[in-house]
């Protein structure tokens, strides 16, 4: 089974000399400004395969880590080349829709006539993604979405030291988070903001299969309502135009 992108980033950081430390049911490590996590069951499986060395409290790269990463990187690149679907974003960047869990859920599954997510829910998720990118958020073991939240625990850089655009994006994300139940908010941010797969979200929380998918749709539906998005175009009814001059009157300059 092809490992997900987060697991490969986790192993790559360990190869670079980092040490993963267990916190609850997952191992975490710091890689630059990013906080990476791997569920305990994933680390245990990799340790059994000789990819990692783990003692129940910490984990490090094992003798087979480099070979494992090289093999899976080649397989992932081959798979991505066959399934790449690039589009240009409003920021002028190329985005592969085939890698987006939202894009897959916005297409009808085989044998189904309707997609799991409607257009408004998809756009709501994309709005969250763009805000997370502008806010320069990074996944953390304990995440706060306040506009004044510390960006880097080591440097102490806070909202006063980030751009106004990033601070404004954080405030907008904070408004969205406050409009959602806690479970919905965390799933929406993990999937849309941090591009986590639904299976990883369920593994981290110990949820049953397909539960994250349902929570995501509920959350995106509420985000869509919060942002005033609708699956069908809607607008005010056409009304008679009114002006301060009488009907059929024309300004003298056009007379």
At 150 the pLDDT is: 37
- Report the alpha-carbon distance of residue 243 to residue 241 in Å, rounded: 7
At 158 the pLDDT is: 45
At 28 the pLDDT is: 93
Measured distance between the N- and C-terminal CA atoms of the chain, rounded to whole angstroms: 78
Among residues 234, 217, 207, 19, the alpha carbon closest in space to that of 106 is found at 217
Burial of 190 (0-12, 13-18, 19+ CB in 10 A): buried
Q: Report residue 252 as tokens.
A: 């003298």
Q: What is the pLDDT along the chain (255 residues), one digit of tens a residue?
A: 568 888 888 998 999 889 999 999 999 998 776 789 999 999 999 999 999 999 999 999 999 999 998 888 766 554 444 445 554 544 454 555 555 668 778 778 777 778 888 888 988 998 998 898 888 765 543 344 444 443 333 333 444 445 788 888 899 999 999 999 999 999 999 999 888 888 889 998 999 998 999 999 999 999 999 999 876 545 554 444 444 444 454 444 444
Q: What is the dihedral of CA 44, 197, 189, 11, to 10 degrees?
A: 40
Q: Which residues of 154-189 are buried (b: 16+ CB within 10 A; e: fewer)?
A: eeeeebeebeeebbebbbbbbebbeebeeebbbbbb
pLDDT, tens only, 162-184: 578 888 889 999 999 999 999 99
Residues whose CB is less than 8 angstroms from the CB of residue 57 and which lie 6 or more positions away in sequence, other chains included: 21, 22
Predicted TM-score (pTM) above 0.85: no
What is the secondary structure of 50-104 as a DSSP string?
A: TSEEE-SSEEEE-TTHHHHHHHHHHHHHHHHHHH--EEE-TTS-EEEGGG-HHHH
């Amino acid at each position: 089974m092809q490992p997900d992108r987060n697991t490969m980033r986790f192993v790559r950081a360990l190869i670079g000399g980092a040490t993963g430390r267990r916190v609850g049911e997952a191992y975490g490590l710091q890689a630059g400004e990013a906080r990476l996590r791997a569920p305990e069951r994933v680390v245990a499986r990799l340790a059994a395969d000789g990819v990692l060395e783990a003692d129940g409290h910490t984990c490090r790269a094992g003798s087979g880590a480099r070979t494992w990463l090289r093999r899976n990187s080649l397989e992932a690149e081959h798979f991505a080349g066959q399934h790449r679907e690039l589009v240009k974003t409003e920021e002028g960047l190329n985005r592969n829709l085939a890698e987006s869990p939202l894009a897959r859920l916005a297409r009808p599954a085989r044998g189904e006539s309707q997609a799991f997510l409607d257009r408004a829910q998809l756009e709501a998720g994309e709005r969250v993604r763009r805000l997370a990118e502008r806010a320069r958020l990074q996944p953390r073991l304990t995440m706060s979405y306040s506009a004044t939240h510390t960006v880097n625990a080591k440097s102490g850089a806070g909202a006063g030291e980030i751009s106004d655009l990033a601070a404004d994006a954080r405030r907008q994300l904070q408004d969205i988070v406050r409009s959602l139940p806690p479970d919905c908010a965390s799933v929406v941010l993990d999937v849309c903001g941090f591009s986590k797969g639904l299976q990883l979200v369920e593994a981290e929380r110990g949820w049953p299969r397909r539960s994250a998918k349902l929570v995501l749709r509920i959350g995106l539906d509420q985000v869509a309502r919060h942002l005033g998005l609708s699956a069908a175009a809607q607008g005010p009814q056409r009304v008679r135009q009114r002006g301060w001059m009488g009907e059929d009157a024309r300004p003298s300059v056009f007379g």
